[in-house]
Amino acid sequence: MIPDKAPGEDVLHASGDLKKGAHVPSFEKYKELYVKSIESPEEFWGDFAKDFFWKTKYTGKFLDYNFDVTKGAIYVKCMEGALTNICYNVLDRNVHDRKLGDKVAFYWEGNEPGDEKTVTYRELLQRVCKFANVLKSQGVKKGDRVSIYMPMVVELVEAMLACARIGAVHSIVFAGFSSESLCERIMDSRCSLLITADGFYRGDKLINLKLIADEALEKCRDKSFPVEKCIMLKHLTKEDESTVHGSLSPPAKRACSDLQVPWNPEVDMCWHSLVCGVSEECEPVWCDSEDPLFILYTSGSTGKPKGVLHTVSGYMLYTAATFKMVFDYHPDDVYWCTADIGWITGHSYITYGPLANGATSVLFEGLPTYPDVSRMWEIVDKYHVSKFYTAPTAIRLLMKFGSEPVQKYKRDSLKILGTVGEPINPEAWQWYYNVVGEKRCPVVDTFWQTETGGHVMTPLPAATPMKPGSATFPFFGVVPAILNESGEELDGPSEGYLVFKQPWPGVMRTVYGNHQRFETTYFKKFPGYYVTGDGCRRDKDGYYWITGRIDDMLNVSGHLLSTAEVESALVEHEAVAEAAVVGRPHLVKGESLYCFVTLNDGISYNQKLEAELKKQVRVKIGAIATPDFIQNAPGLPKTRSGKIMRRVLRKIACNERDLGDVSTLADSSVIDQLFENRCCTGV
Ligand code: PRX
């Protein structure tokens, strides 16, 4: 499956310098370790597990599982029976056993240049313990779910680790989501407490976070799910209190007279007052390997988000191992992942993976374009970042401004570049490699998902010859296959469904509260395999190329959205009878939302309605889901059985006249009308 020898032609190789001292210095070494990871998983993962602290050893098999729905319920268990604590392993172990107390865990860089703060491992441990004690005093116990809705501040990491310390399950909701989305996630996970902040700036835009959080709690109340506890961090509010009680993120330098902080004394509590005077010691709660660690919601094709559940030990081992190998982590590195902790990338590669390795990271609150398009490179130079991880959408955005804003800064500290979130087009890859990395830094194109917990298909920087746009080969323990529509495994060069044949420690365990949905979504279509939902091509050299989603999902700026989710937001508007949403290629975002709406009788389409519909989606889901195009569609192309032919709509959105086979279309007259009504004529 993996070629015996890496191809020598048409590929880019890491420099000799990088190979020296690399964890995996050659393709041969990668092959050897890969075989070990498959044939002797216990031994392979045992090499990583021995670095961690285990209160008791595991009792059964290292990895126990059933991946075949025809043989019974799907399950995956890793090191079941062992007791440990992930917070202890990423903090106490580093401070006490590895003597890294004075090492910087995070350089926090605020939205506004000059807003900065450094936190060491020792300080982080003390702060986490304090906050864990606060949670305990609020009655939070092992197994309880806690929702976190916060900007990119160190306290967000504190809140998640404090939950992990006491065995509570965190459910972080990206701070760009709407109150409706937050409410839905709080209710689905049955959270008893919400942690939020007063507000924050994204570029020069003020986000009144507490206001949105309050709206969400109000909606929960209306739906008979009252959450009576809300802890609010004062991030923007300039008050003596925050200095007295030691807010880690200093108040932003911008004036914030527009900040709205509603306060309900029955429910709301101030973070700073709560931690004041609380002990800096908190005994961790020892958890079973298979106890839940967190829930993170990801879009589902039915429109209802799925609560992806990860458990303690497998996730800990996997994020630690992938971080170490894929970024070839060494103790003197300064690592920066630009993702938001509200997404899985931030969970695995800002918090757990880097901290498990005792790494120093940059934690950035701002935007790549604020105050100008050099911001990223300024930060790279400021902190001497050596490993840099970002999304193709950010690369494409910055590429538009040419090389000059990049070259204003030296970037000579950079050693490895990474991408994640969507397929990277070779042009963007080349720009990243040539301009940002000056042909010196390998690019690791890491393919993975919220569900996979960590990287599953990825180059290893010193070992894997790179092909721009290919996620190359599987990570250790991962066995990919490409299936055709009939579920047959394809050999050699081929294209089809990307699936995995067996679990790895970091794979999700269930959909929270709905195991059946877990089985149906990932295991039913092809029994015996985990189905990613992505298409994939394998070339003549055995390299894997992810071709994008093949289900009803869209990837807008690296964020997954389901067409059903957007459609249901649109049809909630009283003017809309039916909606169909498709992706349209976009130069920066990868894909943009193109929505077709059929209006109720008697309603005419106009700009005001269009603006209302866009707002409707933004309010229901969040700004990331704002449609780029809305088209009035008096009729939609449907099969005789009534199924909307999205394939045809995708072509119409792109103004492609060759529609392929349309013999199943019930009424072909709608097609001309749809082309006539296109809302972006000429594009
Ligand atoms: O379609 C794939 C795409 O992002 C999806 C997973 O999205 P999410 O769960 O939000 O996690 C994103 C961060 C891990 C995948 O099913 N995707 C992610 N990385 C890549 C990618 N597509 C191609 N190449 C990648 N490197």
For the residues 586-606, what does the mean pLDDT come to? 93
Q: Is domain 553-676 classified as CATH 3.30.300.30?
A: yes
Nearest CA to ligand 1 atom 25: 447
For the residues of 604-618, what is the DSSP string, one character each? ---HHHHHHHHHHHH
Nearest CA to ligand 1 atom 24: 423
Burial annotation 423-437 (CB, 10 A radius, 16+ → b, else e): bbbeebbbbbbebbb
Burial annotation 109-125 (CB, 10 A radius, 16+ → b, else e): bbbbbebbbebbbbbbb
For the residues 150-166, what does the mean pLDDT come to? 98
For residues 87 and 291, give the distance between their C-alpha atoms in angstroms, rounded to a whole number.
14
Per residue in 193-234, pLDDT (tens digit) is: 999 999 999 999 999 999 999 999 999 999 999 999 999 999
422 lines ligand 1 (CB under 6 A): yes
Please give the angle made by the CA atoms of 327, 333 and 337, to the nearest 5 degrees: 55
Which stretches within 176-330 are classed as H helix? 179-189, 209-222, 240-244, 271-275, 312-326
Ligand 1 pocket test, pick from 172, 546, 557 with the greatest ligand atom count within 8 Å of Cβ, gives 546
Q: For residue 402, what pLDDT is reported?
A: 93
Please report, as a single letter, which amino acid is at residue 137: S
User: Could you tell me the maximum CA-CA distance found in the chain, to the nearest angstrom?
Assistant: 73
Q: How far is the CA of 421 from the centre of ligand 1 (A)?
A: 4
Which is higher by pLDDT, 195 or 11? 195
For the residues 577-592, what does the mean pLDDT come to? 93
For the residues 327-346, what does the mean pLDDT come to? 98
For residues 116 and 545, give the distance between their C-alpha atoms in angstroms, rounded to a whole number.
39
Residue 256: pLDDT band (50, 70, 90) is low
Nearest CA to ligand 1 atom 2: 422
For the residues of 402-422, what is the DSSP string, one character each? -SHHHHTS--TT--EEEEESS
Q: How far is the CA of 446 from the centre of ligand 1 (A)?
A: 8
Q: Please state, for a pLDDT cut of 70, what percent of the chain lies above it.
A: 96
Q: For residue 301, what pLDDT is reported?
A: 79
Report whether the peptide linkage leading into residue 371 is cis, meaning its omega lies within 30 degrees of zero.
yes
453 lines ligand 1 (CB under 6 A): no
Q: How far is the CA of 243 from the centre of ligand 1 (A)?
A: 40
393 lines ligand 1 (CB under 6 A): no
Nearest CA to ligand 1 atom 15: 449
**CATH number assigned to the domain with residue range 144-288, chosen from the 4 options 3.40.50, 3.30.160, 3.30.70, 3.90.550:** 3.40.50
Q: How far is the CA of 558 from the centre of ligand 1 (A)?
A: 7
Q: For residue 127, what pLDDT is reported?
A: 98
Helices 41-49 & 312-326, crossing angle to 10 degrees?
80
Nearest CA to ligand 1 atom 26: 447
The boundaries of every CATH 3.40.50.12780 domain in the chain are 16-84+294-477+497-549
Q: For ligand 1, what atom is nearest to the CA of residue 446?
A: 26
Phi and psi at 206, nearest 5°, equal: -85, 130
Q: For residue 17, what pLDDT is reported?
A: 86
For the residues 175-180, what does the mean pLDDT come to? 96
421 lines ligand 1 (CB under 6 A): yes
For the residues 336-348, what does the mean pLDDT come to? 98
Residues 6+ apart with CB under 8 A from 615: none
80 lines ligand 1 (CB under 6 A): no
For the residues 25-39, what does the mean pLDDT come to? 97
Residues 6+ apart with CB under 8 A from 568: 303
Q: Is 95 helix (H, G, I), strand (E, B) or coil?
A: helix
pLDDT at 681 over 60: no
Q: Which residue has the tokens 């491992």?
A: 121
555 lines ligand 1 (CB under 6 A): yes
pLDDT at 245 over 50: no
Residue 582: pLDDT band (50, 70, 90) is very high
Q: How far is the CA of 444 from the centre of ligand 1 (A)?
A: 14
Residue 292 half-sphere exposure toward CB, CA atoms < 13 A: 23
For residues 422 and 395, give the distance between their C-alpha atoms in angstroms, rounded to a whole number.
12
Residue 10: pLDDT band (50, 70, 90) is confident
Per residue in 645-677, pLDDT (tens digit) is: 888 999 999 999 998 888 888 888 899 999 998
Residues 6+ apart with CB under 8 A from 416: 18, 327, 328, 386, 387, 388, 441, 442, 444, 461
Q: How far is the CA of 115 from the centre of ligand 1 (A)?
A: 32
For residues 378 and 199, give the distance between their C-alpha atoms in angstroms, rounded to a whole number.
25
Q: How far is the CA of 590 from the centre of ligand 1 (A)?
A: 12
446 lines ligand 1 (CB under 6 A): yes
Q: For ligand 1, what atom is nearest to the CA of residue 308?
A: 9
Nearest CA to ligand 1 atom 22: 422
Nearest CA to ligand 1 atom 21: 422
Q: For residue 552, what pLDDT is reported?
A: 82
Nearest CA to ligand 1 atom 8: 449
Please report, as a single letter, which amino acid is at residue 404: E
Q: Please state, for a pLDDT cut of 90, what percent of the chain lies above it.
A: 85
Q: For ligand 1, what atom is nearest to the CA of residue 447?
A: 26
Contact 254, 211 (CB under 8 A): no
The boundaries of every CATH 3.30.300.30 domain in the chain are 553-676
Q: How far is the CA of 531 from the centre of ligand 1 (A)?
A: 13
**CATH number assigned to the domain with residue range 16-84+294-477+497-549, chosen from the 4 options 3.40.50.2030, 3.40.50.2000, 3.40.50.12780, 3.40.50.1820:** 3.40.50.12780
322 lines ligand 1 (CB under 6 A): no
Residue 244: pLDDT band (50, 70, 90) is very low
For the residues 98-104, what does the mean pLDDT come to? 98
For the residues 607-623, what does the mean pLDDT come to? 95
Radius of gyration of the chain (CA): 25
Q: How far is the CA of 208 from the centre of ligand 1 (A)?
A: 30
pLDDT at 248 over 50: no
Per residue in 505-555, pLDDT (tens digit) is: 999 999 999 999 999 999 999 999 999 999 999 999 999 999 988 888 899
Q: What is the pTM of this model?
A: 0.93
Ligand 1 pocket test, pick from 446, 449, 451 with the greatest ligand atom count within 8 Å of Cβ, gives 449
Report strand pairing: 75-78 vs 169-172: unpaired
549 lines ligand 1 (CB under 6 A): yes
Contact 341, 350 (CB under 8 A): yes
Contact 486, 527 (CB under 8 A): no
423 lines ligand 1 (CB under 6 A): yes
Q: Which residue has the tokens 């199924």?
A: 643
Listed range (7-11, 102-106, 329-333, 575-579) with the worst mean pLDDT: 7-11
Ligand 1 pocket test, pick from 348, 395, 419, 422 with the greatest ligand atom count within 8 Å of Cβ, gives 422
For residues 123 and 383, give the distance between their C-alpha atoms in angstroms, rounded to a whole number.
19
Q: For residue 482, what pLDDT is reported?
A: 97
Ligand 1 pocket test, pick from 420, 424, 455, 473 with the greatest ligand atom count within 8 Å of Cβ, gives 420
For residues 617 and 572, give the distance between their C-alpha atoms in angstroms, rounded to a whole number.
10
Q: For residue 239, what pLDDT is reported?
A: 52
Q: For residue 682, what pLDDT is reported?
A: 46
List Cα–Cα distances, 673 to 391, 439, 604, in angstroms. 38, 50, 16
How many other β-carbons are positioned within 10 Å of the β-carbon of residue 246?
Answer: 12
Q: How far is the CA of 310 from the centre of ligand 1 (A)?
A: 17
Residue 8: pLDDT band (50, 70, 90) is confident
Q: Is 306 helix (H, G, I), strand (E, B) or coil?
A: strand
Residue 246: pLDDT band (50, 70, 90) is very low
Phi and psi at 219, nearest 5°, equal: -65, -40
Q: For residue 476, what pLDDT is reported?
A: 98
Q: For residue 247, what pLDDT is reported?
A: 46
Ligand 1 pocket test, pick from 534, 549, 561 with the greatest ligand atom count within 8 Å of Cβ, gives 534
For residues 234 and 577, give the distance between their C-alpha atoms in angstroms, rounded to a whole number.
44
pLDDT at 640 over 90: no
For the residues 143-168, what does the mean pLDDT come to? 98
445 lines ligand 1 (CB under 6 A): yes
Average pLDDT of the chain, as a whole number:
94
